[in-house]
Structure 1
Amino acid sequence: MTASCIKLENLLIYRNLLNDSLVKSIQSLGTQEAACNQYATGARLIEWAEANGMTGNIPENYLLCLLGCDENVFSSIAGKAGARAGNSLAKAVAHDIVILKALLKDDLATRFGDEVKAVIDSYLPASEIQGKKPDRFRNLALLRDLFLDVSKNHTPEEVVNALSQYYNRYGCGRLAGYGAFKWDSQRRELVGIEHTDPVQLGDIVGYEYQKAELVRNTEAFMSGKPANNVLLVGARGTGKSSSVKAVVNRYFDKGLRIIEISKADFKQIPEIMTVLRQWGKKFILFIDDLSFEEYEAEYKILKSLIDGGVEVRPENVLIYATSNRRNLVKETWDDRDGSELHRQDTVNEKISLADRFGVTLFYTLPNQEEYFKIVEEIARKSSICLTSAELRSEALRWEMSHSGRSGRIAKQFIDYLAGNIAN
Structure 2
Amino acid sequence: MSQNLKLSTLFVLNTLDHDPILNFLTWDDDNMEIRAECTGYLIRAAEDLGLSGNLLSRYLLHVFTHKSNLVSKTMERTGLPPGSSLRQAFYEDIEHLYPLLTQPTSAFLGEKLLDNYEPTQNIYDKTEDFLLPWIEAAQTPRDYAEALLTFYARYGYGDIASYVVFRWDDAADRICGIPHFERTQMKHLIGYQRQKEQLLQNTRAFVDGKPANHVLLVGARGTGKSSAVKALVSEYEESRLRLVQVTKEQLRKLPEIMDALRNYVGRKFILFLDDISFEDSDAEFKSVKSAIEGGVSACPPNVRLYATSNRRHLVRETWRDREQDEIYRDDTINETVSLSDRFGLIIHYHTPDQDEYLAIIDHMLSQKGIHLSPEELRIAGLRWEMTHSGRSGRAAQQFVAHYLGIH
Normalised by the shorter chain, which TM-score bucket? 0.7 to 0.9
Alignment equivalent of 2:260, drawn from 275, 289, 297: 275
C-alpha deviation, 1:99, in angstroms: 5.1
Whether the 8 Å CA contact 1:25–1:41 is kept in 2: the answer is no
* In 1: Cα distance, 2:25 partner to 2:402 partner: 50
**Cα drift, residue 161 of structure 1:** 4.5
Identify which range, 58-67 or 80-89, moves more after superposition: 58-67
The alpha-carbon distance between structure 1 residues 390 and 39, as it changes in their structure 2 partners (threshold 3 A), is farther
TM-score (norm 2): 0.86
Aligned to 1:141: 129
**Deviations 1:21-79 (CA, angstroms, capped at 9, x unpaired):** 23445787975725544763355135413xxxx36436554332211123121111111
Q: Tell me the number of residue pairs that the alignment of Structure 1 and Structure 2 aligns.
A: 402
* d(CA) in 2 for partners of 1:18, 1:60: 17
* Equivalent residue number for residue 74 of structure 1: 71
Q: Does 1:41 align with 2:41?
A: yes
Q: 1:8 & 1:220 partners in 2: Cα distance? A: 49
Which structure 1 segments of 5+ residues have no match?
none
Indicate if the aligned counterparts of 1:14 and 1:70 stay in contact, CA closer than 8 A: no
- Structure 2 unaligned segments of length 5 or more: list them: none
* TM-score normalised by L of structure 1: 0.83
Q: In structure 1, what is the equivalent of residue 119 of structure 2?
A: 123
What amino acid does structure 2 have at the position aligned with 1:251? Y
**What RMSD over aligned residues (CA atoms) do the two structures have, in Å?**
3.1
**Equivalent of 2:220 in 231, 235, 249:** 235
More divergent stretch after superposition (84-93 vs 284-293): 84-93
* Aligned pair partner of 1:94 in 82, 91, 94: 91
Answer yes or no: is the 8 Å Cα contact 2:252–2:283 preserved in 1. Answer: no
Which residue, out of 199, 205, 224, partners 1:220? 205
The structure-2 alpha-carbon separation of the partners of 1:371 and 1:75, relative to structure 1 and needing over 3 Å to count, comes to same
Corresponding residue for residue 293 of structure 1: 279
- Contact (CA 8 Å) 1:336, 1:344: kept in 2 or not? no
Give, in whole Å, the separation in 1 of the partners of 2:42 and 2:174: 33
1-structure distance, mates of 2:84, 2:22: 29
Which residue identity lines up with residue 415 of structure 1 in the other structure?
A
Kept in 1, the 8 Å contact 2:57–2:102? The answer is: no
2-structure distance, mates of 1:272, 1:36: 43
Identity of aligned residues (%): 39
Residue 157 of structure 2 corresponds to 172
CA contact (8 A) 1:230 1:359 kept: yes
Residue 233 of structure 1, CA deviation = 0.9
* Distance apart, 1:97 and its partner CA: 3.6
Matched, 1:326 2:323: no
Paired residue secondary structure (1:71): coil
Deviates more, 1:69-78 or 1:412-421: 412-421
Match of 1:369 among 337, 351, 355: 355
Compared CA separation, residues 99 and 240, structure 1 to 2 (3 A):
farther
CA shift for structure 1 position 93: 1.8
Q: Which moved more, 1:225-234 or 1:395-404?
A: 395-404
Question: Residues of 2 paired with 1:81 and 1:89: CA distance?
Answer: 13
Matched position secondary structure for 1:258? strand
Q: Distance in 1 between matches of 2:198 and 2:143?
A: 39
Residue 343 of structure 2 corresponds to residue 353 of structure 1: no
Matched residue type, 1:250: E
Cα distance in 2 for residues equivalent to 1:254 and 1:81: 18
1:244 to partner: Cα distance = 1.3
User: 2:28, 2:235 → 1: CA distance?
Assistant: 43
